[in-house]
Structure 1
Amino acid sequence: KSDALKTSFLLEQKKKFEFRNKSSDLGGDICVTGNLRLGSQESFRRYVVAVNGDAMGKSMQGAGGAIVMGVVVNSIMARSARHDRILDYTPEQWLTEFYEELQGVFLAFNGSMAISAVVSVIDEDSGEMWYFNAEHPYTILYRNGKASFIEEELLLRKIGLESDIPFAVQRFQLEPGDVIIMGSDGRDDIDLSGGAEIRSINEDEYLILRTVEAADANLERIKAEVQKFGELTDDLSLLRVGFRESSVTRSSGSLLEDPERHIIEIDAYDTELAESEFDQLFHQGRSLAREGNSDEALKLLKQAYDLKKDEPALNKILAVLTFKGKEYETAVDVLQKYLEHDPNIEDFWLYLSIAHKRTGNYDKALEAADKVFEINPNRVPNLIQLSDLHAKLGNHGRARIFAEKALELEPENRQAQQMMESLSARS
Structure 2
Amino acid sequence: MTIQEKIDKARKALEKIKDYTQEQADELVYASAKIIYENAVPLAKLAVEETGLGKFEHKIAKNTDTAAVFYDYLKDKKSVGVINEIPSEGIIEVAHPVGVIGAITPATNPTVTPLGNFMHAIKGKNAIIISPAPRAEKTTTDTINLIRQALVDKNAPADLIQVVSGATIEKSVELMEKCDLVLATGGPGLTKAAYASGTPAYGVGPGNPPVILDRDFDLEEAAKITLVAVGSDNGILCDGDNLLLYPEEKEDRLFDELRKVGMVVYEDKKDVAKFREALFHGGKIDADLVGKDAFVIAKAAGFDIPAETEVLALRIEGIGKDEILCKEIMGPIVVLKAYKIFEEAVDMAVKNMVEAGGIGHTGGILTNNREHIRYAGEKIPVARLLVNQPTPDAWGPATNGLSPAVSEGCGTWGNNILSANVDYLHLVNVSRIAMPLAVEPLVLEDIFKD
TM-score with structure 2 setting the length: 0.30
Compare CA radii of gyration and give the structure with the larger one.
1
More strand by share: 1
Query: Larger relative contact order (C-alpha < 8 A, sep ≥ 6)?
Result: 2
TM-score with structure 1 setting the length: 0.32
